[in-house]
Amino acid sequence: MPSLPPRPREATPPLTQTRADGWALVTEFVQSDSLRKHMLAVEAAMRYYAEQLGQDVEYWGLAGLIHDFDYEQYPTREQHVWVGSRILAERGWPAALIRTIQSHADYMGVPREQLVDHALFACDELAGFVTAVAYVRPTHRLAEVEPPSVIKKLKDKAFARAVSREDIAQGAVELGLPLDEHVAHVIAALQRVAPDLGL
C-alpha cells in the first residue's frame, strides 16, 4: 500500500480535554454497543490518517471519537450534531473541533475547509461500511477484509443500503486519493483496533 506524503501541518487549538474525557462523553450519551464501536472505528481511522499525513494525532482522534456522541439520543436531522454542538460548547470543547464535527453533516451547511474536516467526512461512512463487510464474513475478522471485496460490496446497492456510496466516493476525492487506496488505508487503520471492535 503506498504511503501518504505528509501535508503541511495544520494548526489546532490546544486541547484541555483528553481521550479519557472523550470516551466519558461517549459512555454518558451512548448505550448502543454498535454505535460505540462505530465511533472507535472512526477514531482509529482518524488517528491513522493523522499519523500518515503528519497532523495532530490526539486532536484528530478526538474528532473521530466524539463525532456522533449525540446521535443515539438525538438522531434526527433537526437534532443530530445541532444538539451535540451545543453540549460540547457548554462543556468548553474547542470551537474549531466543534466546527469540524459540524462539517461532517452536510445538512448543517458548514463547509469543510481544514484537512481534518475532509478526513472526518471521508472516514465516517467508510469505517462503518468496512466493519459491515467484516461482519458478513464467516469468521467476522477484519484481518480477512481486502480492498477488492469492499469495492465489490460498494457496488451491491442492497448491502448496507443505509451507507451513502456518494459520500464514500466524495470522501476519497476530498482526501485526494483513489477510492481503492482510501479503502486500503481505512482497512489498515481498523485492523489495528480489531479486538476493540469485536472483529
pLDDT tens digits for range 145-179: 999 999 999 999 999 998 999 999 999 999 999 99
pLDDT of 73 strictly over 90: yes
Burial of 124 (0-12, 13-18, 19+ CB in 10 A): buried
The cell for 196 is: 476493540
Percent of the chain with pLDDT over 90: 87
Q: What is the pLDDT of residue 6?
A: 74
Percent of the chain with pLDDT over 70: 99
Q: What is the mean pLDDT of the chain?
A: 94
DSSP 126-187: HHHHHHHHHHTSTT--GGG--HHHHHHHHH-TTTTTTS-HHHHHHHHHHHT--HHHHHHHHH
151-178: b (≥16 Cβ within 10 Å) or e: eebbeeeeebeebeeebbbbbbebbebe
Tell me the pLDDT tens digit for each residue of 1-58.
667 877 889 989 989 999 999 999 999 999 999 999 999 999 999 999 999 999 999 9
C-alpha pair distances (Å), 20 with each of 31, 65, 167: 17, 10, 30
Mean pLDDT to the nearest integer, 61-73: 97
Task: For each of the domains in the chain, give its residue range(s) and CATH number, in order of start.
Answer: 19-197 (1.10.3210)
